[in-house]
Amino acid sequence: MTAPAFNEPVYYQGGGFRVTEHLLTTPRKTYSLSRLEYVSVSRPLLALAGIPALGATGFAIAFWRYLTPGEGIVLLTGSVVAASIGLTVGALRVHSLALRDEDVATSFGSIFRLRHVRRAVEKAMRFRAGVEGV
């Protein structure tokens, strides 16, 4: 492996993340792309927030006539906020045999930003595979 150049192209930079030809830098750690198998993005809070949000919405609809307007609005607003959080918060997981089980390589953030980071890592890995024949 060659040493990374200081003027190497940056595939993504923002929100504490930086992806170059050789490195993935997260807010907490830096990973060498040559040692990564893959990265994945998921929505870990979707089930945790989405199911109670659906339950609260169903409850509010079923018992609307027994609820005061304030109670109904609080239930529905809370459901929308919980579902929104579940849909927009994501986790970027870095998978590598080198990491083993010593540390969980997960970074949380906006699902949209994390998807950009994942695409940039994939682009850098494809570039490296073409250049180095990995």
Q: pLDDT confidence of 101, banded at 50, 70, 90?
A: low
Q: pLDDT confidence of 82, banded at 50, 70, 90?
A: very high
User: Would you list the domain boundaries of the chain?
Assistant: 10-41+89-132, 45-87
**Alpha-carbon dihedral 97, 99, 100, 101, rounded to 10 degrees:** -150
Q: What is the pLDDT of residues 58-81, one digit of tens each?
A: 999 999 999 999 999 999 999 999
Q: What is the pLDDT of residues 10-55, one digit of tens each?
A: 999 998 999 998 999 998 888 888 888 888 999 999 999 999 999 9
Which three-class secondary structure state does DSSP give residue 118? Answer: helix
Closest CA to 105 of 53, 41, 21: 41
How many H-runs (helices) and E-runs (strands) does the chain carry?
A: 3, 7
Which three-class secondary structure state does DSSP give residue 110? Answer: strand
What confidence score (pLDDT) does residue 32 get? 86
What CATH class does 10-41+89-132 carry?
A: mainly beta
Phi, psi for 110 (deg, rounded to 5): -65, 130
End-to-end distance of the chain based on CA atoms, in angstroms?
11
What confidence score (pLDDT) does residue 102 get? 57
Q: In whole angstroms, what is the distance from residue 87 CA to residue 118 CA?
A: 17
Q: What is the pLDDT of residues 109-132, one digit of tens each?
A: 999 999 999 999 999 988 877 765
With 0.75 as the threshold, say if the pTM is over it. Answer: yes
Which three-class secondary structure state does DSSP give residue 28? Answer: coil
